[in-house]
Amino acid sequence: MAAFKTYTQENGPKLTCTDTELIEQDGLLFKDLARCGRLLPYEDWRLPADERARDLASRLSPDEIAGLMVISGHQMVPAPNYKTMPATYGGEAFDRSRHQPWELTDQLKDILRKERIRFILQSGVESSEVSVRWNNELQALAEQQPFGIPVSIATDPRHGVGSGRAEFKHAGEGVSKWPEGIGFAAIGDPETMKRFAETAAREYRALGISTSLAPQIDLATEPRWMRMEDTLGGDTDQVIAFTKAYCDGLQTTEGREDAPDPGWGKDSVLAMVKHWPGGGTGEGGRDAHYAFGEFAVYPGNNFPEHLRPFTEGAFRLDGPTGQAACVMPYYTVSAGQGEPVGNSYNPYIIKDLLRGEYGYNGVVCTDWGIMEDPLPVLDAFGPRPYGMQELSETGRYLRVIMNGVDQFGGPLRSEKIREAFRLGCERFGEEAMTKRFRESAVRILACLFRLGLFEDPYLDVAESLSVIGNAEFRKAGLEAQRNSVVILKNQNNVFPLKPGVRVYVPERKLGPKKSFIRTMEEGRTEQPVSPEEAEGYFVPADSPEDADIALVWCKSPLSVNKGYDGKDLEKGGNGYLPIPLQYRPYTADAARSSSLAGGDFREKSADRSYRGKTETVCNEQDLDNILEMRRVMKGKPVIVLMELHHPVVPAEFEAAADGIAVQFGVSRQAVFDVLFGRSPARGKLPYHLPRDMETVEKHCEDVFDDYEPYTDSAGNVYARGFGLSF
């Protein structure tokens, strides 16, 4: 890459570029991105973003706009050379080439040059330095293209302690570590939420990232939903407050209140709130990544409540940017709300509600993988054009575009969007289609202008590395992790633990289960706490007999099949299974006799009931460990440390434990700091822990905490807001 040059000016923004000439006008400097020798409105940083975007959009052809309407599929840096997604460097796989890890693949170069795509989704990355240098490579190539439109790198959340279990989240290399979304609900403090978002924004921009596929503001009303852990909870007013804090923290650059675009600048990141109109009400807890979970249901008639985090939060920010820059609809078919089709296809959900009644004028981007033809079976991870399988792929693109959607998540080419334009010209006329495309172009380009990328897209490696994961950010993240830990039981004041105590930690045995992409994962054995993690807190014991305390590290029950198994279909069933929140095999005798929603072209019946069926979890051994430690410790304390991906039925294990602590995706250090009294116990349950599975089966998927909570042997009710201190 050619080295970029930096130009500073007293009364204007810093300009960085490789070979772009500058224009001096009125004593100020501007980039000649169009290479025409005169200042065009879109190059004039004094103008508001909308005005600049309208000018540039008017200069772009529909084919050029089509590239802007894509956020690419997941990009690993460096990229492995998969058969399904080839990635080569000068024609060779990376491990056989002499290329640097931050260099662009041949395919990515084509994405920028030929497809004109400018929003690139980064997933895994080798290091922070690689991410910084990769950004500079992208921007240099984009700068050389017509009009010099810069790249916005997008990301799923990457500040969690570990890799995510739902979607393709990755633990971000080098960034500070914070709780998962529901952990902030356990803290209950919007200021902590805002501090996290401000930190994430600083680190993202230092990495080259400027679009965040977050926050996830679905109300967490369904306890079996696999994505509950990524939400901000189910208390609507609290989620609204968190949404405002998150979006304001992410989007606001301080000191820009009087700028042409108030609040936007070099520290800003686009917030893409998800998932409109709320994706957490899947029947039986099933998730809409899979066709067997496509239906969102509202047995409590609570659909309007699920809109409030958007309409009263994301669309009414307290900060100067005003509203979340982008919105992502979920895959779901919202039963009883307009046509029985996926939300991006549904005119009532997008055109009438989002664009019409609530007047949202930002970017609307589909979730990933909704446009391609569906697979022939339900038990698969595949395209999700729910209710639209009869349309051609081009027809689907046209339908979504005319519905008011601007961007598409996941493609690596813009060909189908270009075809949709031509099809639309045949149906609606070229003038109407050109107007519609430019409408989306203005919304998308305005985002890039607000971020300041047209003026300064490049990063200094040393400066970025001084920001990413610095001591201040790490300290704040660790404090938040500690504050999210919840103490449920402290029998005989077993907490705080004494430093140097001898502790036995049994290994965990996990059975096979379906992965996120529906392949079968093999069982495994793991040691939950390493000697390095124990150091400074306790002395690991080799056996229960040598220990003063047994510490059972476990996770909430993990369903083997996540609600569906093709083998049940082969045996004459409908394929549907319950999703247990208990460890022992569960038979759903209290489930609905008939489902509220259902029916797919691949099914013989529209009834998705699983009543009377039995399902198991892959980590039943976690319960066995607790009960075995109770037996072999012979009266010595047994402590349960549980990571909650979703609520759990405590009745199976509570009586066998002297102490119980739960957490929501934090480090061992954070948990041990609380248990050993180095940090106060402050966390509170963000939701009820249910009395049993029967009360879960009888609850309404769209209503928060409408099931009976568990009462423990000391009379404490494990309801939302409960948490002991010591």
In angstroms, the CA 497 to CA 677 distance is 7
Same domain, 275 and 422: yes
Report whether pLDDT(171) > 50: no
Average pLDDT, the chain: 96
| H, E, C per residue of 386-443 | CCCCCCCHHHHHHHHHHCCCCEEECCCCCHHHHHHHHHHHHHHCHHHHHHHHHHHHHH
Which amino acid would we find at residue 632?
V
Same domain, 319 and 456: yes
Domain identity same for 186 and 287: yes
Residue 586: inside a domain: no
Q: Using one digit for the tens of pLDDT, what is the confidence trace for 552-583?
A: 999 999 999 999 999 999 999 999 999 999 99
Look at residue 663 and give its three-state secondary structure.
Answer: strand
Mean per-residue pLDDT, 30-34: 98
Place of tokens 């009364």: 11
Going by C-beta distance under 8 Å and a sequence separation of 6 or more, which residues neighbour residue 166? Answer: 226, 227, 229, 230, 287, 289, 516
Domain of residue 377 covers 49-467
Chain segment 708-726, per-residue pLDDT in tens? 999 999 999 999 999 999 9
Q: What does each C-alpha distance from 549 to 105, 341, 352 come to in angstroms?
A: 53, 54, 60
Asked if the structure places residue 396 within a domain, the reply is yes
Prediction pTM value: 0.97
Q: Which of 73-87, 98-112, 309-323, 663-677 is predicted with the least confidence, judged by mean pLDDT?
A: 73-87
Query: Is residue 449 located within the same domain as residue 509?
Result: no
Q: What percent of the chain has pLDDT over 90?
A: 95
689 pLDDT more than 50: yes
| Cα distance between residue 126 and residue 205, in whole Å | 17
Evaluate whether 533 touches 668 at the Cβ level (below 8 Å): yes
* Rounded Cα–Cα distance for residues 642 and 35 (Å): 60
Please give the single-letter amino acid code of residue 505.
V
258, part of any domain: yes
For residue 173, the model assigns a pLDDT of 66
**Residue 53: both structure tokens together:** 């975007």
Which residue in the block uniquely carries the two structure tokens 């319960």?
623
CB-neighbour burial class of residue 419 (10 A; exposed 0-12, middle 13-18, buried 19+) = middle
Chain centroid offset of residue 181 CA: 9
Give yes or no: residues 550 and 442 share one domain: no
Question: Which residues sit opposite 17 in a β-bridge?
Answer: 5
Both 72 and 177 in one domain: the answer is yes
Residue 543, domain CATH = 3.40.50.1700
Q: How far apart are CA 684 and CA 695, in angstroms?
A: 22
Integer CA distances (angstroms), 108 to 76, 116, 125, 202, 212, in order: 11, 11, 15, 26, 20
Position 168 pLDDT exceeds 60: no
- Kindly state the average pLDDT of the residues 471-478: 98
Distance, CA of 327 to CA of 354 (rounded, Å) = 9
* Beta pairing, strands 270-276 & 326-329: parallel
- Give the integer Cα–Cα distance in Å for 720 and 642: 17
Q: Which residues of 628-637 are buried (b: 16+ CB within 10 A; e: fewer)?
A: bbbebbeebb
Through-space distance between the first and last CA atoms of the chain, rounded to whole angstroms: 57
Residues 442-459, mean pLDDT to the nearest whole number? 98
Amino acid found at 327: V
* 408 vs 410: CA distance, rounded Å: 7
Q: What is the CATH number of the domain that holds 201?
A: 3.20.20.300
Give percent of the chain with pLDDT exceeding 70.
98
Question: In this predicted model, what pLDDT tens digit does every residue of 304-326 receive, in sequence order?
Answer: 999 999 999 999 999 999 999 99
Q: What is the pLDDT of residue 95?
A: 84
Q: What pLDDT was estimated at residue 170?
A: 53
Bridge partners (DSSP) of residue 206 are none
pLDDT of the residue at 164:
44
Give the β-pairing of 524-526 and 508-510: antiparallel
Q: Does 34 reside within a domain? A: no
Q: In the chain, how many domains are there? A: 2
* Residue where one domain finishes, among candidates 441, 467, 493: 467
**Residue 530: inside a domain, yes or no?**
yes
The whole-number average pLDDT for the span 22-31 is 97
In a domain, 602, yes or no: no
Indicate the residue type of 430: E
Amino acid at 316: R
Query: Is 374 contained in some domain?
Result: yes
Give the E-state strand segments of 281-343 in sequence order: 295-296, 326-329, 333-334
DSSP letter at 606 equals S
Residue 663 has pLDDT above 90, yes or no: yes
Residue 249 has pLDDT above 90, yes or no: yes
- Which tokens belong to 295? 């239906």
**One domain for residues 396 and 442:** yes
Where do we find the tokens 């609570």?
Answer: 302
pLDDT at 163 over 80: no
Task: Give pLDDT, residue 167.
Answer: 53
Give yes or no: residues 351 and 444 share one domain.
Answer: yes
Burial 670-697 (b: 16+ CB within 10 A, else e): bbbbbbbeebebbbbbbbbbbbbbebbb
The confidence score (pLDDT) of residue 84 equals 76
User: What does each C-alpha distance from 296 to 79, 165, 218, 233, 280 come to in angstroms?
Assistant: 36, 21, 12, 18, 8
Specify whether the CB–CB gap between 227 and 287 falls below 8 A.
Answer: yes
Please say whether the beta carbons of 326 and 366 come within 8 A: no
Reading phi first (left if > 0) and then psi (alpha if -120 to 50, else beta), residue 660 is in beta
CA–CA separation, 105 and 89 (whole Å): 5
- The confidence band for 165, taking pLDDT boundaries of 50, 70 and 90, is very low
What pLDDT, on a 0 to 100 scale, did the predictor assign at position 1?
Answer: 63
Query: Which of 724, 699, 609, 664 has the alpha carbon at shortest distance from 228?
Result: 664
Same domain, 463 and 517: no
- Asked if 225 contacts 282 with a C-beta cutoff of 8 angstroms, the reply is yes
Task: Identify residue 47 by its one-letter amino acid code.
Answer: L
Are 263 and 408 in a shared domain?
yes
Residues 269, 397, single domain; the answer is yes
pLDDT confidence band for 83 (50 / 70 / 90): confident
pLDDT at 502 exceeding the cut of 70: yes
pLDDT reading at 271 higher than 70: yes
Q: Are 228 and 109 part of one and the same domain?
A: yes
CB 161 within 8 A of CB 466: no
pLDDT at 493: 97
pLDDT in the model for residue 86 = 87
Q: Which long-range contacts (CB under 8 A, 24 or more apart) does 92-101 make?
A: 100/133, 101/77, 101/126, 101/130
Nearest partner of 363 among 387, 388, 328, judged by Cα: 328
Average pLDDT over residues 466-482: 98
CA distances from 242 to 46, 183, 393, 571 (A): 33, 12, 38, 47
**Angstrom distance (rounded) from CA 294 to CA 284:** 11
Written in H, E and C, the secondary structure of 219-277 is CCCCCCCCCHHHCCCCCHHHHHHHHHHHHHHHHCCCCCCCCCCCCCCCCCCEEEEEEEC
Asked whether residue 631 is domain-assigned, the answer is yes
